[in-house]
Amino acid sequence: MNEMTLQGMKTMAEIFARSRLVTQTDPGDLFVLMQTGAELGMTPMMAIRSIHVIKGKPTLSADLMHALVRRSGLCKSWRYLDYSATRCVIECARTGDIEPTVVEFNADDARRAGLTGGNWAKYPRDMMRARAVARACRALWPDVCAGLYTPDELGGDAGIVFDATPKPAPKPAPSAHAKQIEQEPRPSVAAFIAAAEPMLSAMDVSPDEFIAWLQREGKSIEDAPRILSWLERQAEREPNALKGLING
């Protein structure tokens, strides 16, 4: 990955936070994910997709740990000696090792750790493998995995295929204007404009310009509460952005 300055990463985090394609909306959280990924040789988008934060600590899925080890060029050998619902045994070696190392995670380990419900009850074979893979990667390649743990190991509920997409932020409560419009079974254009006009005026956008833009975007005032809530956020965070969107 190309080196990125601190300011460049900060700017990218702010851009991602505004994107509708990224569910994490806090630039600071995105910056932490990107910086953690950079230390592991990951691109910013890969870091955002692949790193969980559980109890304030960044984590990696077992499959991602394994992939980073393979990509590092430091994996001499890797094979499964046993892979079942009661145990997973991996024989692996780091480049330069004379003898391979055998790493195991089994049902006794799971019981001692209190791993009996949830995905451990539904998919014991996959969970055994995930724990064994994470244990092997940290044991032989701590520099590649930076000592990170999987979400499951820190008590996170990430499932078998660990979804790295941050959970969406709660939707903001409708504003007073939005609630007023929401009470009408079919909001009228006049009522919608009356509620939106103060915010549009602050952003130097006329009601006619805004209505025309909504029509071009395929939006309807039937969704007035959500549109008004979005307008309020725009007026507060980026008052000049809407004019650029409409003119663009």
The tens digit of pLDDT for each residue in 32-84 reads 888 888 888 888 877 877 787 777 778 888 888 898 899 889 999 999 999 99
**To the nearest whole number, what is the mean pLDDT of the chain?**
75
Q: How confident is the model at residue 9 (pLDDT cuts 50, 70, 90)?
A: confident
Q: How confident is the model at residue 181 (pLDDT cuts 50, 70, 90)?
A: very low
User: What residue ranges in the chain does DSSP mark as E strands?
Assistant: 51-54, 57-60, 75-83, 87-94, 101-106
The residue among 173 and 13 whose pLDDT is bigger is 13
pLDDT at 82: 93
Mean pLDDT, range 197-224, rounded to an integer:
68
The whole-number pLDDT of residue 169 equals: 46
Calculate what percentage of the chain has a pLDDT beyond 90. Answer: 22
Bridge partners, 87 (sequence order): 106
Q: Where are the domains of the chain?
A: 1-59+150-170, 62-146, 176-247
Nearest C-alpha neighbor of 42 from the set 30, 51, 53: 51
How many other CB atoms sit within 10 Å of the CB of residue 44? 21
Percentage of residues of the chain with pLDDT beyond 70: 65
Residue 104's pLDDT band (cuts 50, 70, 90): very high
Q: For position 159, what pLDDT does the model report?
A: 35
Rounded to whole angstroms, the Cα distance separating 217 from 17 reads 22
